[in-house]
Structure 1
Amino acid sequence: MTKDQNSYSYSAVNKHENNHEGKQFQEEITESAPTIGIRHLQVLIYFLLCITAFGFRVSLSVGIVAMTDPSTTNNPDIPTYPEWKNKNVILSAFFWGYIIPQVFAVQSILSALIPETAARYGSRGVMISRALQGFTQGFIYPSLTHLLSQWAPTEERSRLGTIVYAAAPFGTVIAILVTGLISSSWYGWPLVFYLYGALGLLWCVMMIILGYDSPAEHPKITKAEKLYIEKSLGHTDEKPNHPTPWKSIFTSIPLWALFATQLGFNYCFWTMLTQIPMYMNFVMNFNIKQNSVLSSLPYLTLWLLSFAFGFLSDALVNKNVISRTKSRKIFNSIGLLVPAGALIMLGYTKSDEYKQAVVLLVISVGFTSACYSGWTVNHMDLSPNHAGTLMGITNGFSQVTGAIAPLVVQLLVTNERDPLQWRFIFLITAGFNIITGIIFDVFGSAKVQPWNSPEEDEEKGH
């Protein structure tokens, strides 16, 4: 067993892994646990949350085209606002309030009120609404990371984490397709926001009924599954609450490397997500129906590839082919450097080379899925006890890129039909990917940090 795989030595079960009895004990627990259990139901709930949450985020990226272009619908009763010249500022507004957490139900209500907000208060009203929606979604990723750190055994971390986090691109696919189809129909773009508002409220009800914070709190989980999860993660009933080691966290080099690569990933992700519909519309001259189908294709590819990378990552680590740290760095590099190369080529693609453009867009977005087996689950690697806190810190601050990315486009792309101006956007994005990917390769780690459980580290004489 590699050093990284043995990094969970702070937990109860891993204290025995240096002898045959401990290994046999862990194997018996794993074999007795159900293949499909309560942990998978919880993962399904988190999966649906990400699908719905990203539907809220993405629907406006396609919807803004229909909201500002009267030619997208044949229904004269559907309002449009061609006078809005600040589309990218509106798209950026979601992230103005993202770093502050609140409740998901509020997000649903705000989404349903978007049509009325646009009619009454114009583009500024929509900006404020989107900022408040970002405010409500600030809790999602820190909460998901904490919940996964309670429910996902280390042996299943990459694949279960991938299922949850990769729901984001799957939700993106659905949102782009649904928004494009509804916006071009007789019902028009307002129906999109009513639909997602209702879905969000339904998810809240489901979470209240079926969701639980940990295996210890679930009334129907089997003893075998509970023991399997808790022993794998080192969670025991007598384990004390760990104070947050703020100084150690903020001076941790692996955490800073994680934060850097998260910045690069998010800048690329949000640049592509918010701008692909407009790039397709103005440079490649696709109408909104074609736009929604082609804009969703890269994210469908991302979602499908994420499973391949997730299962491959777990298999390589569990079979001792490579260490967990090497696995994180390899997959993270694939997820950042391959898209960077595709973006550079996309920047030099001519407007009439639409087939090449679509292929490069698919590669530039699709291969980012490898990062779900890279930095995305690295918070749980570094500190299972404080994973939610780490995600809250890195995700909260890195999401500023979601606000910056559309504003950079607003500043640099003064003529949306000029491929040369879009080239600068793609080259900047590729540069972020390359720089932050290298930082993670040099300074990143998947070893549990000593400050994860200081009292146990002291007991071991460290």
Structure 2
Amino acid sequence: MQVHGDQTHKQEEKHQMENQCLAKKVPGFCSFRYGLAVVLHFCNIVIMAQRVCLNLTMVAMVNRTEPPHLPNGSAVERLDDGKGIVSTGQHEIWVKWAPPLERGRLTSMTLSGFVMGPFIVLLVSGFICDLLGWPMVFYIFGIFGCILSLCWFLLFYDDPKDHPYMSSREKAYITSSLPQQVSSRRQSLPIKAMLKSLPLWAIIINTFAFIWSNSLLVTYTPTFINTVLHVNIREVHSGFLFAPQNGLLSSLSYLLAYICGIVAGQLADFLLSRKIFSVANVRKLFSTLGILSPVIFIMCLLYLSSSFYSTIIFLTLANSTLSFSFCGQHINALDIAPSYYGFIKAVSALIGMIGGLISSAVAGLILNQDPENAWHKIFFLMSGINVTCITFYNVFAKGEIQDWAKETKNTRL
């Protein structure tokens, strides 16, 4: 058994070395796989821009002299549904398009679009509303969405081997780097094995902590600043329509989150390509940075912050460093179970959303019952959840395909 394991390991190392040699001959940023990531990046920007600008332009809508035609609740709901559909579909794409040594930068490039969208909207919507009127905000981002949709239908193919415009060298590089590529025939879900898989639970639990923290920070940051510093940040936030510097202040956390996500992707793949860390250790490293960094900055906020600007700095850092998780548990399912990547991400997102709802409800309950000590309780609860979840993740997370996720038949070599 040991001899067989050693031979398998040597074969994997040889295969990896061959792929690295081939990768040096294949175009990087001027390639179809990176072009696909760029298109998805801008798609995510537009999706979030359309979602965020609906709230921001509300100020301009209600300030009109004639009765405004406000979007109803179903319109907002449809925008949220669109974000969920696109983000879920993206996970399946990288199963066949992302070589293992490029997963970090490709996925972080696409996911970072979700934080770049609000940043752009906060900067430009005020100018558009003042110069062209608030309806033009929706027309402009809508036109961009239509253009990107057309590009997507023209350029995207389900499998890189079927793409008519890709070079044969790039096709060979992608397909050869995925030796256990799934076939078109779907297998039944190994539910029992999944329920017993601790590496899978590590991903799900850590996603719960991520969304708990993200929802809490995004939802209650204005309330915290208002109650602690007696500054109505909601007025500052909406004031971007009349003071561009306020829009810049409100968008700083999104800009820094974008930078953190891109840097994490590049660094993760660098560590893997140079064999500095294993896949499992890279995922653990960036999950730890993404889950524990907000805890550190929140503790600084509670005990070291003494002014409005220090509060803004710590809150910005707490919000933005969550993006390091883009190269952690967010793509770890692609490492351990590429055949079921989309399903795992959907389940993780569902459980995470439940965590987000619970975090908002619990925070509101604590604020109503004990306003004096509420923030210490809320942030210590968040910290406890994050530390517990990341500890579980670091103990049980894996970086190789699990036995229950391997195809026994119809495997394309």
After TM superposition, is the score higher than 0.5? yes
Could you say if the C-alpha distance between residues 386 and 236 of structure 1 is closer, same or farther in structure 2, counting changes exceeding 3 Å? closer
Larger mean Cα displacement after TM superposition, 447-456 or 236-245: 236-245
Which letter does structure 2 place at the counterpart of 1:257?
Answer: A
SS of residue in 2 equivalent to 1:233: coil
Q: How does 1:337-356 map to 2 (within 5 A)?
A: 337-347=292-302, 353-356=307-310
- Deviations 1:411-440 (CA, angstroms, capped at 9, x unpaired): 45569xx89655554444333322322221
Match in the other structure for 2:343: 389
Q: Distance in 1 between matches of 2:131 and 2:205?
A: 45
Question: Is the alpha carbon distance of 1:135 and 1:169 closer, same or farther for their aligned partners in structure 2, counting shifts above 3 Å?
Answer: closer
Q: For 1:447, what is the secondary structure of its paired residue?
A: coil
Deviation of 1:374 (Å): 0.7
1:442 has 2:395 as partner: yes
Answer yes or no: is the 8 Å Cα contact 2:210–2:352 preserved in 1.
Answer: no
Provide the C-alpha distance between the structure 2 equivalents of 1:398 and 1:251, rounded to a whole number of angstroms. 19
In structure 2, the residue matched to 1:50 is: 44
| Kept after mapping to 1: 8 A contact 2:185/2:410 | no
Aligned partner of 1:294 in structure 2 is: 249
Letter in 2 for 1:444: A
Name the structure 2 match of 1:365: 319
Distance 2:199 2:55 in 1: 34
Q: Is the 8 A contact 2:16 2:177 kept in 1?
A: no
Aligned partner of 1:99 in structure 2 is none
% identical equivalent positions: 25
The answer to whether the aligner puts 1:328 opposite 2:283 as a matched pair is: yes
CA change 1:447–1:217 in 2 (3 A) is same
Secondary structure of the residue aligned to 2:275 is: coil
1:153 aligns with 2:99: yes
Matched, 1:143 2:89: yes
2:206 to 237, 261, 268: 261
| Structure 1 residue 232 displacement after superposition | 0.5
Q: Distance in 2 between matches of 1:406 and 1:194?
A: 33
Q: Determine the C-alpha separation between the residues in 2 that align with 1:435 and 1:24.
A: 37
**Correspondent of 1:304 among 259, 269, 274:** 259
Which residue among 149, 174, 177 is the counterpart of 2:120?
Answer: 174
**Offset at 1:40?**
0.9
Instruction: Give the match for residue 31 of structure 1.
Output: 24
Alignment check: 8 A CA contact 1:145 1:387 kept: yes
Unaligned runs of 5+ in 2: none
How far residue 208 of structure 1 moved from its aligned partner, in angstroms, is 1.6
- 8 A contact 1:61–1:273 mirrored in 2: no
Query: Tell me, what secondary structure is at the counterpart of 1:221?
Result: coil
Q: Residue 77 of structure 1 aligns with which residue?
A: 65
| 1:204 correspondence with 2:157 | no
Distance 1:53 1:240, change over 3 A: same
Kindly provide the amino acid, as one letter, of the partner of residue 387 in structure 2: I
Deviation at 1:151, TM superposition (A): 1.0
* Structure 1 CA distance for aligned equivalents of residues 298 and 265 of structure 2: 24
AA aligned to 2:334 is M
> CA 1:149/1:301 → structure 2, altered by over 3 Å: closer, same or farther?
same
**Does structure 1 retain, via aligned residues, the 8 Å contact 2:212–2:356?**
yes
| Correspondence for 1:249 | 194
Q: Which amino acid aligns with 1:317?
A: L
- In structure 2, what is the Cα distance between the partners aligned to 1:266 and 1:44? 25
Distance in 1 of aligned mates of 2:264 and 2:293: 14
Q: Distance in 1 between matches of 2:307 and 2:13?
A: 59
Other structure's SS at 1:17 match: helix
Distance 1:391 1:293, change over 3 A: same
Give 1:230 deviation, angstroms: 0.6
Distance 1:453 1:170, change over 3 A: same
Paired letter, 1:216 = K
Contact 2:291–2:322 (Cα < 8 Å) also in 1: yes
Q: Describe the SS at the equivalent of 1:445.
A: coil
Residue identity matched to 2:394: D
* Aligned-residue offset at 1:284: 3.1
**Compared CA separation, residues 337 and 27, structure 1 to 2 (3 A):** closer
Are residues 15 and 232 of structure 1, via their aligned partners in 2, closer, same or farther at CA, if it must alter by over 3 Å? Answer: farther
Deviation of 1:261 (Å): 0.7
TM-score normalised by the chain length of structure 2: 0.82
Corresponding residue of 1:400:
354
| 1:284 and 2:231 are equivalent in the alignment | yes
SS at match of 1:138: helix
Q: Supply the AA of the counterpart residue of 2:249.
A: L
* 8 Å Cα contact 1:34-1:224 kept in structure 2: no
Cα distance change on mapping 1:67 and 1:348 into 2, 3 Å: farther
- Once the two structures are TM-superposed, the CA of residue 313 in structure 1 deviates from its matched residue by 1.6
Q: Deviations over 1:381-440 (max 9, x none)?
A: 11122212211221233223444444455545569xx89655554444333322322221
Q: Which amino acid aligns with 1:163?
A: M
Alpha-carbon distance between aligned partners in 2 of 1:34 and 1:50, rounded to the nearest angstrom? 25
- The alignment's TM-score, normalised by the length of structure 1, stands at 0.74
Paired position in structure 2 for 1:453 = 406
Please provide the CA RMSD for this pair.
3.5
Which residue pairs with 1:229 in the alignment? 174
Contact 2:108 2:262 in 1 (8 A): yes
Q: How many residues align?
A: 394
Conserved 8 A contact 2:256-2:320: yes
Change (3 A) 1:57 1:412: farther
Letter in 2 for 1:17: E
Of 210-219 and 269-278, more deviation after overlay is shown by 269-278
Q: Label 1:67 to 1:254 Cα distance change in 2 as closer, same or farther (>3 A).
A: farther
Which residue is 1:217 aligned to? Answer: 162
